[in-house]
């Protein structure tokens, strides 16, 4: 489970314009875009290494462990579905649905 500080920073990063929203990958280095889950990974691991270097399986394993698999899948849908939600809309969903330690 993510900490309350991680959740608060994630919500802030989704609403402050620091990250440009993209679809289909956690982070697209060519376009410097992120999905909502990529924003969380980047804020947690940016001091360690470039998240594009994280093996896909490791990234999603960590996200499943921290957020729960159902929440990860729902966030992927909210970010990537053709009726895509914006980062601020996703931040509101996170406030209401993601539990923090």
CA 27, 30, 33, 39 torsion: positive or negative?
Answer: positive
Residues in the chain where the model's pLDDT stays below 50: none
Percent of the chain with pLDDT over 70: 89
In a domain, 22, yes or no: yes
Based on its alpha-carbon atoms, the radius of gyration of the chain, rounded to whole angstroms, reads 12
- Residue 101 lies inside a defined structural domain of this protein: no
How high is the pLDDT of residue 44? 85
pTM: predicted TM-score of the whole model, two decimal places: 0.88
Domain carrying residue 73: 4-96
In total, how many domains does the chain have?
1
**Which tens digits make up the pLDDT trace of 8-33?**
999 999 999 999 999 999 999 899 99
Q: Where are the alpha helices (DSSP H) in the chain?
A: 4-15, 36-45, 56-67, 69-80, 87-97
């Amino acid at each position: 489970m993510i900490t309350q500080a991680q959740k608060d920073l994630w919500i802030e990063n989704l609403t402050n314009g620091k990250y440009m929203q993209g679809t289909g990958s956690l982070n697209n280095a060519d376009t410097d875009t992120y999905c909502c889950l990529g924003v969380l990974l980047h804020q947690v691991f940016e001091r360690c290494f470039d998240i594009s270097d994280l093996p896909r399986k490791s990234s999603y394993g960590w996200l499943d462990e921290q957020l729960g698999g159902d929440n990860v899948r729902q966030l992927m849908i909210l970010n990537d579905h053709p009726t895509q939600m914006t980062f601020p809309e996703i931040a509101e969903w996170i406030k209401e649905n993601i539990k923090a330690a």
